[in-house]
């Protein structure tokens, strides 16, 4: 009876040793340690007998996560590693934990009470054949590079949240742009209204001054001054009509023109402006450029230019920026350009 048990035990040990040798040879080395990067993963796995995650093993072995995953899958298929699935789902799911399979675990059906089976020095002969049966069927269909449904669902949720955020940001930007456009339109309308009123005020004031001067000329029986005054009044009437038409187009974005008459410029200024234009008949000037040359204010120069345009002695060549040019050739007598300043 004892001989029979001894023979069975010897056969079991021999079979287990042969299977372990086959696994070791397939892994790459005779002592069971795989070759190459898998060997580094194997060392890191055995250095953490309590178990470790893929990230921890990748950091410990100095290899990539893909390499660690591939090596662990091979260890699991060979019965040399076991995986404990993480808990939870989605983002809250904990990572899987891998642990090496102890090669010294005794088989459950040795059938003997003596200490003979514990004698072999090779610890892989007792527990290696049974480990694959306990682990190979637990995670079939899972391999390196396969995305789990939970991971895919989490990725889809992240994409949906990002799409909602972008849509909300675009809507907020659109509303801000509309509000800014409305604000600018209101400001522009207020500026146009103020400019139109100022233009009307200037025209009416200068018209009143011209009417008063003409009445004084009538009282003084100055026919020449009366004639010039009536001509000025006719020109002012044209300016009033143009301003009225411009005011009626405020909704189109057209700004009202500047005053077309001189707002009481000093007597010497208008001849100086006319003289400067006639000195350069082929050039165009802005009021600011002439003001710098004459050392006068640009507003006074602009008023003088408007009066010269109304008299036909200058031409407005550009609206924005306003530019003027002489309307008469060089040498034309301009000595009486300031007659209305009295």
Q: What pLDDT is stored for residue 15 in this prediction?
A: 38
- pLDDT higher for 9 or 240? 240
Q: What is the mean pLDDT of residues 62-80?
A: 89
Q: What is the mean pLDDT of residues 185-205?
A: 88
Q: What pLDDT is stored for residue 328 in this prediction?
A: 62
pLDDT at 115 over 60: no
Residue 233 contacts residue 206 (beta carbons within 8 Å): no
Report pLDDT digits (tens) over 299-328.
Answer: 889 999 999 999 999 999 998 889 999 986
pLDDT at 59 over 80: yes
What's the chain's average pLDDT?
Answer: 74
Q: What pLDDT is stored for residue 103 in this prediction?
A: 63
Q: Tell me the C-alpha distance between 74 and 181, whole Å.
A: 66
Report pLDDT digits (tens) over 118-150.
Answer: 444 444 444 444 444 444 444 444 455 678 888
Report pLDDT digits (tens) over 74-103.
Answer: 988 988 888 888 887 877 788 888 888 876
pTM listed for this prediction? 0.26
Closest CA to 226 of 310, 111, 317, 339: 339
Q: Return all residues near 324 (Cβ < 8 A) that are at least 6 apart.
A: 277, 284, 285, 286, 287, 290, 305, 308, 309, 314, 315, 316, 317
Q: What is the mean pLDDT of residues 1-19?
A: 40
The secondary structure of 115-175 as a DSSP string is: SGGG--S-THHHHTTTHHHHHTTSSTT--TTPPPHHHHHHHHHHHHHHHHHHHHHHHHHHH
Report pLDDT digits (tens) over 264-291.
Answer: 444 468 999 999 999 999 999 999 999 9
């Amino acid at each position: 009876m004892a001989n029979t048990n001894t023979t069975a035990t010897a056969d079991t040990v021999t079979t287990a040793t042969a299977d372990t040798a086959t696994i070791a040879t397939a892994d790459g080395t005779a002592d069971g340690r795989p070759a190459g990067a898998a060997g580094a993963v194997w060392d890191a796995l055995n250095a953490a007998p309590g178990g470790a995650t893929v990230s921890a093993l990748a950091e410990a072995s100095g290899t990539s996560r893909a390499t660690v995953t591939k090596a662990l899958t091979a260890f699991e298929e060979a019965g040399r590693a076991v995986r404990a699935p993480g808990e939870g789902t989605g983002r809250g799911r904990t990572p899987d934990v891998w642990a090496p399979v102890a090669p010294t675990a005794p088989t459950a059906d040795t059938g003997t009470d003596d200490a003979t089976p514990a004698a072999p020095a090779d610890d892989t002969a007792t527990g290696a054949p049974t480990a694959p049966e306990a682990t190979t069927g637990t995670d079939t269909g899972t391999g390196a590079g396969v995305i789990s449904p939970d991971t895919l669902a989490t990725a889809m949720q992240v994409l949906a949240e990002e799409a909602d955020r972008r849509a909300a940001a675009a809507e907020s930007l659109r509303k801000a742009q509309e509000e800014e456009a409305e604000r600018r339109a209101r400001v522009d309308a207020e500026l146009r209204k103020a400019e139109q009123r100022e233009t009307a005020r200037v025209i009416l004031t200068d018209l009143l001054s011209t009417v008063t001067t003409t009445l004084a000329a009538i009282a003084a029986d100055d026919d020449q001054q009366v004639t010039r005054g009536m001509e000025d009044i006719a020109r002012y009437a044209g300016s009033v009509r143009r301003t009225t038409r411009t005011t009626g187009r405020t909704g189109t974005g057209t700004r009202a023109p500047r005053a077309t008459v001189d707002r009481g410029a000093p007597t010497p200024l208008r001849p100086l402006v006319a003289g400067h234009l006639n000195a350069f008949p082929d050039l165009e000037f802005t009021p600011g450029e002439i003001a710098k040359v004459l050392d006068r204010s640009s507003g006074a120069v602009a008023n003088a230019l408007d009066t010269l345009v109304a008299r036909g002695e200058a031409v407005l060549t550009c609206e924005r920026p306003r530019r003027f040019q002489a309307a008469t050739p060089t040498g034309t007598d301009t000595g009486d350009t300031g007659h209305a300043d009295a």
